Chain A
Amino acid sequence: MSEIRKTDFELIEGYRKGRLSDFELLVSRYQEQIYNYVLSLVRDRQLTDDIFQDTFVKIIKVIKSGVYKDEGKFIQFAMRIAHNLVIDHFRKENRIPVVESSSEDYNYVDNAPITDPSVEQGMIVDQIHSDLRKMVEMLPLEQKEVLRMRIYDDLSFKEIAEITNVSINTALGRMRYALINLRKMAESKNVCLMY
Chain B
Amino acid sequence: MIGNATLNCNEPYLDEILTSQIRDVFASQKGTPGKSVLRFILGFAASYEPVENELLGATGIMKN
Contact yes or no, B17 A49, CB < 8 A:
no
B64 at interface, CB cutoff 8 A = no
A45 at interface, CB cutoff 8 A = yes
With contact pairs A136-B25, A192-B1 given, residues A31 and B18 touching in the complex (Cβ less than 8 Å): no
Contact yes or no, A31 B33, CB < 8 A:
yes
Among the listed stretches A51-59, A114-122, A160-168, which one makes contact with chain B, having 4 or more residues with CB under 8 Å of it?
A51-59
- Nearest A residue to B60 via CB reads A67
Chain B contact residue count (CB 8 A cutoff):
43
Chain A residues near B22: list those with CB within 8 A.
132, 136, 147, 151-152
Chain B residues near A191: list those with CB within 8 A.
3
Contact yes or no, A176 B13, CB < 8 A:
yes
Contact yes or no, A151 B33, CB < 8 A:
no
Chain A residues near B48: list those with CB within 8 A.
60-61, 64
Chain B residues near A61: list those with CB within 8 A.
48, 50, 54
A75 at interface, CB cutoff 8 A = no
Contact yes or no, B3 A186, CB < 8 A:
yes
A36 at interface, CB cutoff 8 A = yes
Chain A residues near B30: list those with CB within 8 A.
32, 36, 39
A20 at interface, CB cutoff 8 A = yes
Within 8 A of B (CB), among A170-189: 175-176, 179-180, 182-183, 186-187
Contact yes or no, A39 B29, CB < 8 A:
yes
Question: Which one of A57, A148, A193 lies within 8 Å of B17 (CB-CB)?
Answer: A193
With contact pairs A129-B24, A133-B25 given, residues A56 and B41 touching in the complex (Cβ less than 8 Å): yes
A87 at interface, CB cutoff 8 A = no
With contact pairs A65-B58, A133-B28 given, residues A182 and B2 touching in the complex (Cβ less than 8 Å): yes
Contact yes or no, B13 A53, CB < 8 A:
no
Which residues on A are within 8 Å of B, measured CB to CB?
Answer: 15, 20, 23-24, 27, 31-32, 35-36, 39-40, 45, 48-49, 52-53, 56-57, 60-61, 64-67, 128-129, 132-133, 136, 147-148, 150-152, 175-176, 179-180, 182-183, 186-187, 191-194
